[in-house]
Structure 1
Amino acid sequence: MIQVPAALIMLSRIFKGAIRYSPIEPQNPKPDLLGKVSVVVPTLNEAQRISPLLAGLTRQTYEVKEIIVVDSNSKDGTPDLVKAAGAGDPRFKLITDDPLPSDWVGRPWALHNGFLHSSETSEWFLGMDADTQPSPKLVSSLVQTAITHGYDLVSLSPKFILKYPGECWLQPALLMTLLYRFESAGVDTQAAQRVMANGQCYLCRRSVLTSVGGYTSAKSSFCDDVTLARNIASAGFKVGFLDGAKVLKVRMYEGALQTWQEWGRSLDLKDASSRAQIWGDLWLLTSVQGLPLPIVLSYFIFKVPFDASFSFVLLLLILNIFLLFVRFGMLFAIAASYELSQAIGAGLFWLSPLADPLAVVRILLSAVNTPREWRGRKYTVNK
């Protein structure tokens, strides 16, 4: 009774993937886009992973007017790496954001400071995270795609770089919690409160960002990218979330433990969702992702007999075998979103459905807890 309606909802979302926009392709720059984009990168102790991003940004073409790195007093040499990149590319600007106000989260505060310092003559604002690795034609491709489809805000799902066995097993299971709750990248969502976004690569018309007060409407959100995107969609602007695996890679976390701790605590999206939506999503995830494996295993462990009085057991078993079949099939759909060529234990990717119950538990834990620390900053409980 609880699984059937959840399965129908999940299948309706998966089927929409058949009509989604194709992954964006690298596109050559156009002269009429000269100096149209301001890139802003928030940083806090990113020395271990920012170099590929800095190298990738120096290879961006003439659409990029400026690259503003907003540093939050890093202690690991991050500013020195930015200065070194700037020595060979005058588009780089390094600023330090003001002290963090009590009602702001660090990431939206840094991005808001970057927005305030960006050129008013830029037509587009592009927020990028330090763990991203852009292709040389990322910006030109992204801007042209936004113009072609009439997006006021568009963000990209990347190709995830995995390296270690634990993350090859856990990370795809956590990603699947998003795919089951929301439409695939490339499907335009009509309801503002179901919009998805990825702040790792987040392009917005400057005029639109100005009209909503920059990042102020997402200032206290730990998932500021989704919160801001939904606020912008609610204001009547067109928001898109596209597959960017051909133009953008990301190395998010080192190992399964860091993936569990860092990514897992924001995937509930509670700062961008109503309480009813949060618990509705948890019902769906539990029904179609968390329960199938335990139910099927329980049947074979306890050897429940089949007779007339247990016909419902057979139906339950068939339903959950079907859900597992769909889940394993989804691996082929998401395989293009992963870079596994250098991964140790890459084959564990194909066993990631076995981590599904754990992934659902992680979303539940995140939904009932408020982060107290993020990227080394301490926050009060009422944040």
Structure 2
Amino acid sequence: MILDLSILGLALAALFALMVMANLIALQPPPRPGGRLPGVSILIPARDEAGNIGAALDAALGQQGVEAEVIVLDDGSTDGTDRVVAERAADDPRLRLIRGADLPAGWIGKTHACAQLGRAATRPVLLFVDADVRLTPDAAARLLAAMEAGWLDLVSGFPRQITGTFWEKVAIPQIFTTLLGYLPIPMSRLRPEPAFGAGCGQLLAVRRAAYDAAGGHAAFAGQMHDGILLPRNVRASGGRTDLIDATAIAATRMYDSLPKIWSGFLKNAAEGMATPRALPIWTLLLFGGHVLPWLTLAAALGAGSAGAAQLSALAIALVTAARAAMALRLRGTALGVALHPVGILLLLAIQYTALWRSLRGRPATWRGRSYLAGGGD
């Protein structure tokens, strides 16, 4: 039994390691611009972001090598976010403040904010950026250069994830574990099917024509995974999408404590892996490939099974090497690599909590709003 489980763990670990290596080769930073670029609308949805919005505006207004407008939608903030933006807009004609309309029934808050921003934009490329993302001065130009070089209609990437606390270092890298470990990026470039579309809602550039053809954010009004749904809809309407390595052009600190990590991941989980059909598969892949080898190693050593122990140790080495390569490339931390199995267990705990709550009709809450799978208010 121990030997069989050790073989299973090794097979799953090898799958993860091979996929990570293939994806790290395929995932490249955007090129530096070498020609004329289209204009861009930098679109920032903001709800209670007074502590973030000033730096976000500095970065957005500091873009070089591209003609840009910056539009911020204040989505019912109560902390003075709108005042910060209004004061800056009074002195800079490139910046506009929009006050968000009341949230209609059946819409998700951020999705509704982005839909309004999309309608307000006047440039041929829309760049959606979260308020906690910090762009480098050449970020927009390099994203547009990637679009032009690859004849792409949409390009997206995960910003560098800044982690300060213990639990940030353990939990946040699991975003990349699922992305780079189980999304075949090389295949996604060969196959145009919508199922291979992927992106990150924190940083997403799309051509206006492709955005409109895909139905914009209104096409998934009651869902929050714009980083997945918009690329898939663009592909479904005949457009081309791709992922780039955004580590060098953008950075963000998503959450700064375990409660915020838990709440933030929980609100997104029910539209991701936390479904009755998907979660058993993800449990097999994640627990089986990343945690099980540690358990079979301990069991094999206790039982004196040298063969099982060697297989388990090899599985652990493969996963650790892959995680170390991810950390080096994406500027992760050694602590995150060392405690990777703990991060996997935390991720699965959040997913099972989300599934349990979803099956009982209990919404997740975030910034004063409730979120259920497939809808929210």
The normalised TM-score by structure 2 is 0.85
Aligned counterparts, 1:1-383, within 5 A: 3=9, 6-7=12-13, 9-17=15-23, 19-25=25-31, 27=32, 30=35, 32-33=36-37, 36-61=39-64, 63-119=66-122, 122-183=123-184, 188=189, 190=191, 191-263=193-265, 265-266=267-268, 269-270=271-272, 276-300=277-301, 303-306=302-305, 315-336=307-328, 347-355=334-342, 356-370=344-358, 371-379=363-371, 383=375
* Secondary structure of the structure 1 residue equivalent to 2:111: helix
Q: How far does the alpha carbon of each residue in 1:78-117 deviate from its partner, in whole angstroms, 9 at most, with x for none?
A: 1122123323421111111211111110011000011111
Q: Displacement of 1:133 after TM fit? A: 0.5
Structure with larger RCO (C-alpha < 8 A, sep 6+): 2
How far apart, in 1, do the equivalents of 2:289 and 2:178 lie? 10
Is this contact kept in 2: 1:189–1:195, CA < 8 A? no
Q: Displacement of 1:225 after TM fit? A: 1.9
Q: How far does the alpha carbon of each residue in 1:320-354 deviate from its partner, in whole angstroms, 9 at most, with x for none?
A: 322221221123322245557xxxxx652342324
Q: Displacement of 1:150 after TM fit? A: 1.5
How far apart, in 1, do the equivalents of 2:24 and 2:251 lie? 24
Cα 1:70/1:189, change in 2 over 3 Å:
farther
Q: Displacement of 1:376 after TM fit? A: 2.0
How far apart, in 1, do the equivalents of 2:295 and 2:304 lie? 17
Cα 1:100/1:256, change in 2 over 3 Å:
same
Residue 145 of structure 1 aligns with an amino acid whose one-letter code is: A
* Secondary structure of the structure 2 residue equivalent to 1:130: coil
Residue 215 of structure 1 aligns with an amino acid whose one-letter code is: H
How far apart, in 1, do the equivalents of 2:78 and 2:70 lie? 21
Over the matched positions of the two proteins, sequence identity in percent amounts to: 22
How far apart, in 2, do the equivalents of 1:222 and 1:319 lie? 41
Is this contact kept in 2: 1:56–1:134, CA < 8 A? yes
How far apart, in 1, do the equivalents of 2:269 and 2:187 lie? 19
Is this contact kept in 1: 2:27–2:243, CA < 8 A? no
Residue 87 of structure 2 aligns with an amino acid whose one-letter code is: A
How far apart, in 1, do the equivalents of 2:124 and 2:279 lie? 35
Q: How far does the alpha carbon of each residue in 1:211-244 deviate from its partner, in whole angstroms, 9 at most, with x for none?
A: 1221122211132221222222233321111101
How far apart, in 1, do the equivalents of 2:19 and 2:372 lie? 37
How far apart, in 1, do the equivalents of 2:128 and 2:138 lie? 16
Is the helix fraction higher in 1 or 2? 2
Q: Displacement of 1:4 after TM fit? A: 5.9
Q: Displacement of 1:278 after TM fit? A: 4.9
Is this contact kept in 1: 2:61–2:70, CA < 8 A? no
The normalised TM-score by structure 1 is 0.84
Is this contact kept in 2: 1:268–1:278, CA < 8 A? no
Residue 39 of structure 1 aligns with an amino acid whose one-letter code is: I
* Secondary structure of the structure 1 residue equivalent to 2:52: coil
* Secondary structure of the structure 2 residue equivalent to 1:67: strand
Q: Kindly report the root-mean-square deviation, in angstroms, between the aligned alpha carbons of the 2 structures.
A: 2.9
Stretches of structure 1 lacking an aligned partner (at least 5 in a row): 307-313, 341-345
Q: How far does the alpha carbon of each residue in 1:192-226 deviate from its partner, in whole angstroms, 9 at most, with x for none?
A: 32432101110011001111221122211132221
Is this contact kept in 2: 1:86–1:92, CA < 8 A? yes
Residue 305 of structure 1 aligns with an amino acid whose one-letter code is: G
Cα 1:295/1:51, change in 2 over 3 Å:
farther
**Residues paired across the two proteins, number:** 363
How far apart, in 2, do the equivalents of 1:186 and 1:157 lie? 19
Residue 154 of structure 1 aligns with an amino acid whose one-letter code is: V
Cα 1:186/1:259, change in 2 over 3 Å:
farther
Q: Displacement of 1:298 after TM fit? A: 4.0
Cα 1:184/1:125, change in 2 over 3 Å:
same
How far apart, in 1, do the equivalents of 2:190 and 2:201 lie? 17
Cα 1:170/1:297, change in 2 over 3 Å:
farther
* Secondary structure of the structure 1 residue equivalent to 2:49: coil
Q: Displacement of 1:73 after TM fit? A: 1.2
